Structure 1
Amino acid sequence: MKLVGVEEHYLAAEVRDAWDAIGLGSRDPCVFIHLADARIGQMDETGLDVQVLSLTTPALHELGPVGIDLAGRANDAVAETIARWPDRLQALATLPVATPEVAALELERCVQILGFKGTILCGRVGSRNLDHPDLRPIFESAAALGVPVLLHPRTPAAEVRSAYYSGFSAEVDAVFAMFGLGWHFDAGIQFLRLVLSGMFDRLPGLQVILGHWGEVVLFYAERLVTLDRFSGLDRTIATYLRCNFYVTASGMFSPDYLARAAAVVGTDRLLFSTDFPYQYRPGGDARRFLAGCGLGEPDKAAFAHGNWLRLTGGSGATQRGGIGR
């Protein structure tokens, strides 16, 4: 059974240098991950057939116009890497999100020319949340192209970190605000802001992916329905969760979490991922989780690769790789 990881990251040296030039590395730290030959061996160790590559958080969200050329070079470099392993790698586009009109055009180029499968956004763009009207061209482009948007966490704003994630050692504060908890609340809130802004009423075909079993959102689905009385939206929160929302594992290999996600969004909206390198799982761990995840064989195949193929089947100039032909 083919196994596709849809949230698997890299960080290019040029992007890291751009972060360092504005001091972003200390404010929003991340992990350096090469696009290197070793990646294929690591995929084999964990049991993945295909990785869908994406630039790690906070991507180009703080780089302003500098991000325009940088995005193009990053995407071209990823396309060259995919050309070396077309059966093993796919990609989500890196966008110069601070210039949304340009970002929309870059997404179009990546999908139509480079064969990418969608894009990744990493939370706020400067002081703007993702529902800000300035950023609509990006979502409009994704909807028009029929490709998904993966919402990745990023570190909460400094004032939020100070109020809620501080008071311990510098290391504990940082982890608490990032992958310990802060990242996941941040990403879930960004998705809910998109819902409450009416984004999915304006773009009913737009599809968004959240990692880590829905970034807390799914575990409060019953509570979120109370917003229906006040939101003024066309549909209910539960409907958006079942019509505009995909969920991926991000290396959190829990059958209980999978069952909860399936109950809320349906088995046809479950996607697999290992969240490499943040949760690097060697020794065939991904395969073991798939084998014992509790799904029947048809749903297991959908989770492993079928849902991703259906979601992205119409995207890209070509269908790269053995599972996409």
Structure 2
Amino acid sequence: MKLIALEEHAFPRSVIDAAGLDLGRRAARFVDDLDDLDGHRLKIMDAHGIDMQVLSAGVGGVLQALPADEAVRHCRALNDALTAATSRHPDRYRAFATLPMSDPVAAAREFERAVRDDGHVGAMIHGQTNGTFLDDTSVEPVLAAAEVLGVPIYLHPSLPPKTVQTAYFGDLDPDLGAVLAGSGWGWHAECGMHVLRMATTGVFTRHPDLQLIVGHMGENLPFSLARADTMIGPVLGWRPGQLANTVTSHVHITTCGYTTTPPLLCTVQVFGADRMLFSVDYPFSDTGPAVEFLRDAPISEPDRNKIAYANAARLLRLS
């Protein structure tokens, strides 16, 4: 089974040091793996049959939210580093650009440069930037660039705004609060809500060719999309099914970090196998279980091959 993995993180130590970044307690444990693009990473890919990784910034939200001039400089350096890695290993890597979202006009320019000049296959944006979501009119240049370039935006989860974190988790043990706000729950609710904001505020009407990718088996959207359609649609005066159809027409979903059958089957039933993609979330998740899960999943062989590589090759225009 050929495998293309879509949410595989990298963060060269040179960029981390130059930007003076604090990756946080969890990500800091993986700094060596994030920095490695020529050694152990390739061995892991070979050992588990990963043909290609699409590289993206680990914890890239810390770059996109920097003050504009710093964000532009460091995002460009990161994109150049990933371009160099793809040049050294053209059969093994592609990359999503990291964008300086604190300056959307500069972000659009960097998006165009990374795709047109360096062959990046899309961009990864880590949630809201300093409180600004992708439905805000200030972000229009970035969304328009994605349409013109014909590449998707991977919407990665991010922490909710500080006021939300304080209200929901401020009275908890710091480690517990951090994981509830992040990968244990809050990330996924935040990202699913972000997609619903975009769908209900007309983003996909203004940008009919825009395509998103979200990870983690759909960020709770497959399970709750019908309920959202039923409750939100009448408020907007939309016909039944309009919200659900808008989301399923513009969103692709990766298996990133999920290795149990019920979420997979739910996602196949709601979004369809044609909109699903394989991912490991390397190095934050283990490659072996992710590959074994897809190989053994109770789905048809045609659907397995679509998820494993064919959908990614089509969406990202990979040869």
Normalising by structure 1, what TM-score? 0.89
User: Which residue is equivalent to 1:311?
Assistant: 315
Higher RCO (CA 8 Å, separation ≥ 6 residues): 1
**Alignment partner, residue 67 of structure 1:** 71
Give distance in 2, aligned partners of 1:88 and 1:53: 10
Q: Is the 8 A contact 2:64 2:98 kept in 1?
A: no
| Displacement of 1:46 | 3.8
Instruction: Indicate the residue corresponding to 1:238 in structure 2.
Output: 244
CA 1:165/1:47 → structure 2, altered by over 3 Å: closer, same or farther? farther
Question: CA offset at residue 103 of structure 1?
Answer: 1.0
Matches within 5 A, 1:1-325: 1-17=1-17, 20=20, 25=23, 30-31=27-28, 32=31, 33-36=34-37, 37-57=39-59, 58-65=61-68, 66-225=70-229, 226-231=231-236, 236-282=242-288, 285-313=289-317, 324-325=318-319
Give distance in 2, aligned partners of 1:132 and 1:15: 29
Q: Which has the higher helix share?
A: 2
- Counterpart-to-counterpart distance in 2, 1:152 and 1:165: 21
Q: What secondary structure is seen at the aligned counterpart in 2 of 1:151?
A: strand
Ranges in structure 1 where 5+ consecutive residues have no aligned partner:
314-323
SS of the residue corresponding to residue 150 of structure 1 reads strand
Distance in 2 (alpha carbons) for counterparts of 1:268 and 1:107: 26
CA distance in 1, matches of 2:94, 2:237: 39
1:13-55 superposed Cα distances (whole Å, 9 cap, x missing partner)? 244346646xx655x9634321332211122334321110001
**Is the 1:201–1:233 Cα contact (8 Å) retained in structure 2?**
no
Which aligned runs of 4 or more in structure 1 are off by greater than 6 angstroms?
none
SS of 1:246 mapped into structure 2? strand
Query: Would the aligned equivalents of 2:97 and 2:111 in 1 still touch at CA under 8 Å?
Result: yes
Residue identity matched to 2:278: F
Provide, for residues 160-214 of structure 1, a one-character-per-residue CA deviation record: whole Å limited to 9, x for no partner: 1111123332211211211111111111111111111100011111110110011
1:236 Cα shift?
A: 1.0
* Identity level (%): 34
* 1:101 shift after superposition: 1.1
Unaligned ranges ≥5, structure 2: none
Is the 8 Å Cα contact of residues 104 and 138 (structure 2) preserved in structure 1? yes
Residues 19 and 25 in structure 1, CA contact (< 8 A), matched pair in contact too: no
Distance in 2 between residues matched to 1:249 and 1:59, nearest whole Å: 24
Decide whether aligned partners of structure 1 residues 15 and 131 sit closer, same or farther in structure 2, where only a CA change above 3 A counts: farther
SS class of match (2:182): helix
Give the direction of change, closer, same or farther, for the CA distance of 1:59–1:14 in structure 2 (3 Å limit): farther
Kindly tell me: are residues 25 and 309 of structure 1, through their superposed partners in 2, closer, same or farther at Cα, counting changes over 3 Å?
closer
Q: Name the SS of the counterpart of 1:115 in structure 2.
A: coil
Query: How many angstroms does 1:251 deviate by?
Result: 2.5
1:317 maps to which residue? none
TM-score, normalised by the number of residues in structure 2: 0.91
Alignment partners' CA distance in 2, 1:44 and 1:158: 41
Paired residues, number = 310
